[in-house]
A and B are shown apart, each in its own frame.
Chain A
């Protein structure tokens, strides 16, 4: 690839990040996508919209989230200072709410009266149901039957919040199928419905607008690091499913070459086992869910099933901007297995008194490898993008404990 002057200018007008991204949707949806793009561009320039967003961020989500120095973990690892960006302390327990607040405000602005969403682990479903309850809009969440079985507490939370949770029984019955079903709903209810996509993927302008709503993570981190250390971090680490928490942390730092950036994919039982969710390490470019990106697929271009112990990373694709950042070399993509994530999950819980979600436990697994290779005067910021309460049943089962 040609060297670029900036890594922060994408996407282009057609929604492309290099060869990735785009708008690969059915004609029925095209006018809606264009309408959304127009509304989004107007909103982002509107000081009133920005003010409302800031108000919600402060008083409803609880931002800014702290930047926390993990002292015992740092001493244990014996290398770079490890900081956590504590987005697990947000209302609803993950970074997902940053995006759903932004999109619900956009939906209201567009006069939409019904909200749909897809969810894997249920965190995005909960975050969507939450904002729908707050504004009083009906909410339908599509969730694969397999995920419903392994994320029962979140299913109940969504129902308590007044959402209708529709089990998806097509295909592999996980996140990708939930997304198919949400798209089918949208194509049917085009006039009334706003589709709140949960990650920085899908047709343009979703990857861009989700990134913008999540970039508050990176913007706060910049300020907080300047305050704590008087300089930018030496490394950033975040887990990648679709990649919204990661792009949110990374984006404000992309043009700071002194900051090394690592995205951690879920390697499941190991990349070589074929049972993983690492689209960059084990996939190739393809077109799905409205964008071109790295996908897990067979020789015929059929999408294959992802595997990860973390339902939130269990998706056979990745946001298109990550695909582009991987090809451009600006971000280094690595992976962590189920086993490594479980070990990091326990380490963090015991060392810091923070139960991480299984998703950031993947990021932490890489931090445990990276920190010891760096000098003690270097710093790492890891995005603690979700809390692990939802995962205690999964972890108990993996550790052979009967509750």
Chain B
């Protein structure tokens, strides 16, 4: 597989001697134009990799913040096709920041795997994290994704034991996403010591960069993770910030975009200062 934007970005982070900040934002939340305004601002605010949430009616692994963010996006008329449109638009301004699509399989399956991969590649998407496609179903979308030249990023969890780890790492590229807790997104914070040990175990088995997510909300928590991992992933806190920036009718207040970017900046500063 040839080098991707994700590979280049993690190589650059390594060169700079720092961990990266990965921001998960729900595409189309709370409406498409407000979303695009903060989406395009994320790299300038210190985000190194963007995880673009793909809304789904039944997000089984997500906590309340991401669930309602997805419902807001659906209400705003968001679809997978429109999500790819946003990537295409973003790529006209920024050809370096990696974008990973994260979500559940059914919208892609419904789109048609082959058509989706062709359109995703053309739009400038770099990788996929599909929560409900474990290694046991690799022939489904994982293998075609790799063939299309995109990264397939897998989640490793505290329940992924030594026996299972090789299967999880096989076919994973770009980076590996370590889920720091057993639970849903936005749950209680993980213990940095335990995360450090888990990351060390992962590094014995793979040279891939390790990003850690679930339960990271504050710049301090992000910094703690940045000391032991290659990147910290923050998601629910972004969804929560959008939720806090809505009026009574659920419309974005004027400061919605600046609030989201302020959070990105604070988290980015936390990650950048972590190893100083």
Contacts and interface: CB of A to CB of B under 8 A. Distances in A.
Interface string A150-179: 000000000000000000001100001100
B106 interface: yes
B134 A190 contact: no
B157 A300 contact: no
A188 B184 contact: yes
A302 B57 contact: yes
A32 B159 contact: yes
A380 B108 CA distance: 43
A59 interface: no
Interface size band for B: 35 or more
B134 A301 contact: no
Contact of A24 (B105, B111, B159, B164): B105
Nearest to A191: B182
A287 B187 contact: no
Contacts of B184: 184, 187-188
Given A184-B184, A302-B56, A27 B156 contact: yes
B106 A301 contact: yes
Nearest to B82: A300
Interface in B137-155: 137, 154-155
A51 interface: no
Given A28-B182, A187-B184, A290 B81 contact: no
Contacts of A183: 60-61
A43 B87 CA distance: 50
A286 interface: yes
A25 B184 CA distance: 13
B213 to A, nearest CB: 13
A33 to B, nearest CB: 9
A22 interface: yes
Interface string A274-293: 00000000000011111000
A295 B58 CA distance: 13
A389 to B, nearest CB: 32
B82 to A, nearest CB: 9
B155 A288 contact: no
Nearest to A28: B157
Interface residues of A, number: 37
Contacts of A176: 58
Nearest to B157: A28
Contacts of B58: 171, 176-177, 180, 288-289, 303
A26 interface: yes
Nearest to A300: B79
A180 B184 CA distance: 11
Given A26-B61, A31-B160, A180-B59, A188 B187 contact: yes
Question: Among A180, A184, A288, which residue has the most Cβ atoms of chain B within 10 A?
Answer: A184
A303 B106 contact: yes
A289 B179 CA distance: 20
A27 B160 contact: yes
Nearest to B61: A26
A383 interface: no
Interface in A258-281: none
Nearest to B62: A184
Contacts of A28: 61, 155, 157-159, 179, 182-183
B245 interface: no
Given A27-B155, A180-B60, A287 B160 contact: no
A301 B60 contact: no
Contact of B80 (A29, A31, A286, A300): A300
A363 to B, nearest CB: 28
B56 to A, nearest CB: 7
A27 B106 contact: no
Interface in A1-45: 14, 22-32
A187 B182 contact: yes
A47 B64 CA distance: 45
Contacts of B158: 28
B75 to A, nearest CB: 11
Contact of B106 (A25, A189, A286): A286
B45 interface: no
B211 interface: no
A23 B161 contact: no
Interface string A51-79: 00000000000000000000000000000
Contacts of A190: 159, 182
B168 interface: yes
A250 to B, nearest CB: 27
Contact of B111 (A31, A170, A301): A301
B131 interface: yes
Contacts of A288: 58, 106
A297 interface: yes
B132 A297 contact: no
A172 to B, nearest CB: 8
A215 to B, nearest CB: 26
Interface in B157-184: 157-161, 164, 168, 179, 182-184
Contacts of A289: 58, 60
Interface string B184-207: 100100000000000000000000
A295 B154 CA distance: 26
Instruction: Give me the 8 closest cross-chain CB pairs, A-B, nearest first.
Output: A301-B110, A301-B107, A188-B183, A300-B79, A28-B157, A301-B106, A24-B132, A303-B57
16 contacts: A23-B137, A24-B105, A25-B134, A27-B155, A27-B179, A28-B61, A28-B157, A28-B182, A28-B183, A180-B59, A184-B63, A187-B61, A286-B109, A288-B58, A302-B55, A303-B58
Interface of B: 55-64, 67, 71, 74, 79-81, 104-111, 131-137, 154-161, 164, 168, 179, 182-184, 187
